[in-house]
Structure 1
């Protein structure tokens, strides 16, 4: 066993440059895996208040589930990387067999090498993860708005155990895979593998041209569909945009090799300059062979860019809109049907035994609706006019009760006057534009004067978002003639125990309306929430989603770069005879390094460039969706995304370029 260990250790030491990408990927994978799984032990979550612990627990549970998916991705990546290393060492393994070493002994050496590299990457990854997780702890405290009493360096034993377990299973699979591969090898195949070269066949340029045109048509159509419908998954165009986007991406990389070769061949000055003819043929060969994997990588990078760029802005938009969405300590509403026995929430609460303290401020109000939609009153753009937002009408006398909660003076309206209120971002700009040019509005064939010069932007009740589409405050008689839509209550709790009263209110609501056996015909059915509850839920959900997308985004980014790197290095080993021939033809070291640099740069850049173009459309559509919850600015998150992208891209590009050069240099020296 000692002899095998010495051979394995010597091989790892001698081939460390070959293991660089493998070791780098393993280290980063362990670091990311540990960092996110150690969140539950971070001081910020430990010191979180009782109301926030529920969301912290949900975050750690979801991260735990996502980690299983991440482990599958990383396990597949490790097997892919290991396969590259085994192929690269075919001749070496063949020499072992020629010298009389059995397959079982060779397998033992490979197992030892796997153990050595695995242990080194686990230790280095955990050390890096321990450092990274401390920074993550600060991020957690900021996102959950928890003030830590003091800073402590935290080591999560549970996360270390999980990391060792998951990666131990991955390395065990690698050992089994290596043993299986060695058992299938024949000496002649191992010794002659370098002489087997792939025959590159090129289809007619016309085929590539047609494929390229189809890819452009597919992508443009996909962009148009997704811009038209946005993130409405129920719309058929949404699914079609995804399908066409995937098809367009695959066709783009399939056609790119032949199409690019055809175009460059037409430019004789470029094609025959220096080693360009060799470089272009090499790139052509790589894309031709790997167009499917390049398509997948490009789509993964597209998702990475989108989620990392918009994740923080989505959370910020959600939380920025909370102040405007929660004007009262608590609210409840009951949708009304003419067949219902109870026609007001006040009556329902009395029957259900939900009472308030005498120092609580309460405002009951009703919303009335008929078949009037917003586009009947003002002109809307095509992207929102088909959504059929109904107009709500509220009696001015009841609206003044709402104003009284905020200690505002009552408003008097004449029979021909109305107030316009709205704060829903999708329609607010159109209402503002209308009011800037018009001072009256036509409702049911009658013209009303708009009393307010500017839109009154507020929520009429506490809710999770600013959802006042268009509510028109109008004289009481008008509302008496149309159908009652909902009965509502707003509450501002008095006294010094407001938090307790909020809690009691929700408990009472759950007691009455959370019982599935309750006879709702007798007590009605009401939904309610408090400001504290809304803040907690929105912050908890937004933070959880943000952490998951960051986790997956970074894993996708590392995986994509690692696959690109391994494909390049694998190609370097397969094409070594071409470089030997190039050297014999008189090409110097500088020229060969230059062509390696351009090949690596172009191969790394093509999936990134297409992903970037996809993400321009993706970010635009996502931002339009986010604006429903509040204003957004992606400049900061885009900068962070770009920084992460550049760092990871730069590390893998440089490591790949250096490794490629070393492989070629060792063979042609």
Structure 2
């Protein structure tokens, strides 16, 4: 009997459960769809278990966290349902039911709704997961070889576990309400509206203006100071103050919003006295104390959702675009020469801080590059042989794939015995009469400096890439950089202005008007690792007494060798570990053995992972915010039902009443979104300038995703809120005033 009663209650109170059901079904949908990522990656044909495992693990962990968020959200949603159902539960107890029986009814009702949400959510999740296979393939830039309908039992189990946890949290809350409430309180619950307080419109308007000023000052500080990349306590403190100002300003802005509107519109009497505008504004003002803080929090969460989607996907796209540009050969490997301090520690083991300019250190520093191909033949297979086979066999395998190849040698910008770079980004910026780019103030750009490469090496590299050589003569130079628009812009202005530089007594002039990005990368996947490189005549390298910093060996596979075969053999036989001289001094270290295939796979997987997480977080946060606003508005409409009934009895048309309700809901839904949008525009403008240090960033590609999320989630909840509000208003008007 109790089961039949619970089922009948759910059917009759379906409208009250709609928000709860909708939010829970949305949660189940995204939980299931996103946890099928491993199957989607398989269909996308990436063939890399590491991507599936890492992304699946991150999605699972994020699902657990978002399940907690959704659980607390369901408790909040239940507050509205319980408020509407308290009188009914009180009547049950008056009619002789024990509290345990009422609790069982509530348990079954919650269970029925949860099962309905599970069925509906899984059905939508299954459909969404099929579509997401194509989205996954586009994110990872893969082709779908074969596709058929799939169902993931693992994703279903994860979803059911999360739903069970949410069900238990909701049930505990419901039982606690019934156990603690007195029967008289349950019966009279419908007569009590939420206690509200109103403040002077003028005081509220002043508070609103103070909040707006705080936000404006915070915007100006953020644009001026940028992000605290240098990590200095002073910069971090400035950023913390800016953040506090934004948060406090947002709270004050919403706290004074209604009063500000009243104060402004009261002066526009034509608008204020038209229709039910006065009633609408007073209704807004009556709720300001109870919802101002939550609206401010919602606005900040929406800001986080907008920036997580827009910024996350855009940064991933910028990073992967640079990685894709930085693949000059089928396979590259690097050799890093031991720097002076490290040599000093080896030569003077009892005094690791010994002088870096001793004769021993100077003698051990490499000025002539190691022949990397010859050394690779000697050490071939050292990273896989592990005592089996022979290096000669591995060397023959290396020769079997070796096609065109070239070695490029980069020199340190610091002469032997000097701590000062002969050329750095800061030097160029100051020569141009400019300031360091935003985000690089306090950085080590001056300390690191620009590496040097000889004109002969660079032209051999250009020939390897199929480019025409550049004649620098005896007094020419050019600049190279794998960096973002900001840094490359500085170098282009230096080249375009004919800026003269002096290195080791050589006055050098630019031979190009702008740098060539395609001729700047010497290793696969090398992006923004330093301040850049300057190409100078060979004599300058010699006269400046510059030690070697790194060397790169670039090779293309022999004609007839497939990419798969070349990648497999190169990855197997290329050496790793240190290189020692005859005195057992570590003079160099192998690093960065990367194929073009691996770099592109890394680029695509990075973009896919960041994009997935951004969309997942953004969608759930938007759903959470929209559902909270919906519940607040439905509670507000329910509380004002008697006022609506009086307006109707006084002759007010239902259409005008609904226009008033619609106006209130537009304010409640639109203003948090407007403020969040303003915060996002300013934050993204700073982030865009920051990311330009690494690569170009545009949010144009993500606008469609952001709009789709907000139209589907935020807009959908707004329509549901208005439809349910219309139903509540119609019920209030039908009931004759008997109180």
Instruction: State the TM-score, normalizing by the size of structure 1.
Output: 0.91
Q: Which residue of 1 aligns with 2:537?
A: 475
Residues 476 and 536, structure 2, Cα contact 8 Å, conserved in 1:
yes
Structure 1 CA distance for aligned equivalents of residues 377 and 640 of structure 2: 80
Q: Using the TM superposition, give the Cα deviation of residue 577 of structure 1 relative to its aligned residue in structure 2, in angstroms.
A: 2.5
Q: Report the CA distance shift for 1:286/1:504 in structure 2 as closer, same or farther (over 3 A).
A: farther
SS of the residue 2:340 aligns to: coil
Residues 369 and 393, structure 1, Cα contact 8 Å, conserved in 2:
yes
Query: 1:136 is matched with which residue: 121, 129, 132?
Result: 132
Residues 501 and 508, structure 2, Cα contact 8 Å, conserved in 1:
yes
- Confirm or deny that 1:246 pairs with 2:306: no
Structure 2 CA distance for aligned equivalents of residues 383 and 222 of structure 1: 21
Q: Using the TM superposition, give the Cα deviation of residue 115 of structure 1 relative to its aligned residue in structure 2, in angstroms.
A: 1.3
Structure 2 CA distance for aligned equivalents of residues 464 and 525 of structure 1: 18
Q: Which residue of 1 aligns with 2:732?
A: 667
Please provide the CA RMSD for this pair.
2.9
Q: Which residue of 2 aligns with 1:396?
A: 455
Residues 95 and 191, structure 1, Cα contact 8 Å, conserved in 2:
yes
Residues 368 and 479, structure 1, Cα contact 8 Å, conserved in 2:
no
Residues 432 and 455, structure 1, Cα contact 8 Å, conserved in 2:
yes
Q: Which residue of 1 aligns with 2:557?
A: 494
Query: 1:462 is matched with which residue: 523, 533, 547?
Result: 523
With 416-425 and 75-84 compared, the bigger mean Cα shift is at 416-425
Q: Which residue of 1 aligns with 2:45?
A: 48
Q: Which runs of 4+ in 1 moved over 6 A?
A: none
Structure 2 CA distance for aligned equivalents of residues 335 and 574 of structure 1: 75
Q: Which residue of 2 aligns with 1:616?
A: 681
Structure 2 CA distance for aligned equivalents of residues 520 and 243 of structure 1: 57
Q: Report the CA distance shift for 1:149/1:533 in structure 2 as closer, same or farther (over 3 A).
A: closer
SS of the residue 1:525 aligns to: strand
Query: 1:21 is matched with which residue: 19, 22, 28?
Result: 19
Q: Which residue of 2 aligns with 1:5?
A: 3
Q: Structure 2 matches for 1:125-164, cutoff 5 A?
A: 125-164=121-160
Q: Using the TM superposition, give the Cα deviation of residue 627 of structure 1 relative to its aligned residue in structure 2, in angstroms.
A: 3.5
SS of the residue 1:489 aligns to: strand
Q: Which residue of 2 aligns with 1:327?
A: 328
Query: 1:574 is matched with which residue: 639, 653, 668?
Result: 639
TM-superposition CA deviations, 1:131-158 (whole Å, max 9, x none): 0000111111222233232220010011
Q: Which residue of 2 aligns with 1:354?
A: 379
Structure 2 CA distance for aligned equivalents of residues 217 and 504 of structure 1: 64
Structure 1 CA distance for aligned equivalents of residues 585 and 224 of structure 2: 43
Residues 141 and 147, structure 1, Cα contact 8 Å, conserved in 2:
yes
Query: 1:548 is matched with which residue: 592, 613, 631?
Result: 613
- Confirm or deny that 1:283 pairs with 2:284: yes
Instruction: State the TM-score, normalizing by the size of structure 2.
Output: 0.83
Q: Report the CA distance shift for 1:47/1:288 in structure 2 as closer, same or farther (over 3 A).
A: closer
Q: Report the CA distance shift for 1:226/1:484 in structure 2 as closer, same or farther (over 3 A).
A: farther
Q: Using the TM superposition, give the Cα deviation of residue 61 of structure 1 relative to its aligned residue in structure 2, in angstroms.
A: 1.0
Structure 2 CA distance for aligned equivalents of residues 219 and 209 of structure 1: 15
Residues 44 and 133, structure 2, Cα contact 8 Å, conserved in 1:
no
SS of the residue 2:547 aligns to: strand
TM-superposition CA deviations, 1:12-64 (whole Å, max 9, x none): 1111122221111111111111100112223x4256354x2211211111101
Q: Using the TM superposition, give the Cα deviation of residue 450 of structure 1 relative to its aligned residue in structure 2, in angstroms.
A: 1.7
In the alignment of these two chains, the number of paired residues is 661
Q: Report the CA distance shift for 1:465/1:266 in structure 2 as closer, same or farther (over 3 A).
A: farther
Q: Which residue of 2 aligns with 1:452?
A: 512
- Confirm or deny that 1:264 pairs with 2:265: yes
Gaps of 5+ in 2: 344-363, 381-394, 415-420, 735-739
Residues 410 and 451, structure 2, Cα contact 8 Å, conserved in 1:
no
Q: Using the TM superposition, give the Cα deviation of residue 497 of structure 1 relative to its aligned residue in structure 2, in angstroms.
A: 5.6
Q: Report the CA distance shift for 1:134/1:626 in structure 2 as closer, same or farther (over 3 A).
A: farther
Structure 1 CA distance for aligned equivalents of residues 454 and 463 of structure 2: 14
With 185-194 and 198-207 compared, the bigger mean Cα shift is at 198-207
Residues 228 and 383, structure 1, Cα contact 8 Å, conserved in 2:
no
Q: Report the CA distance shift for 1:485/1:206 in structure 2 as closer, same or farther (over 3 A).
A: farther
Q: Which residue of 2 aligns with 1:337?
A: 339
Q: Which residue of 2 aligns with 1:71?
A: 67
- Confirm or deny that 1:90 pairs with 2:150: no
Q: Using the TM superposition, give the Cα deviation of residue 301 of structure 1 relative to its aligned residue in structure 2, in angstroms.
A: 1.2
Structure 2 CA distance for aligned equivalents of residues 351 and 22 of structure 1: 65
Q: Report the CA distance shift for 1:409/1:577 in structure 2 as closer, same or farther (over 3 A).
A: closer
Q: Using the TM superposition, give the Cα deviation of residue 249 of structure 1 relative to its aligned residue in structure 2, in angstroms.
A: 1.5
Structure 1 CA distance for aligned equivalents of residues 157 and 303 of structure 2: 33
Gaps of 5+ in 1: none
Q: Using the TM superposition, give the Cα deviation of residue 78 of structure 1 relative to its aligned residue in structure 2, in angstroms.
A: 1.2
SS of the residue 1:200 aligns to: coil
TM-superposition CA deviations, 1:56-88 (whole Å, max 9, x none): 211111101111111111111111111210111
Query: 2:33 is matched with which residue: 32, 35, 56?
Result: 35
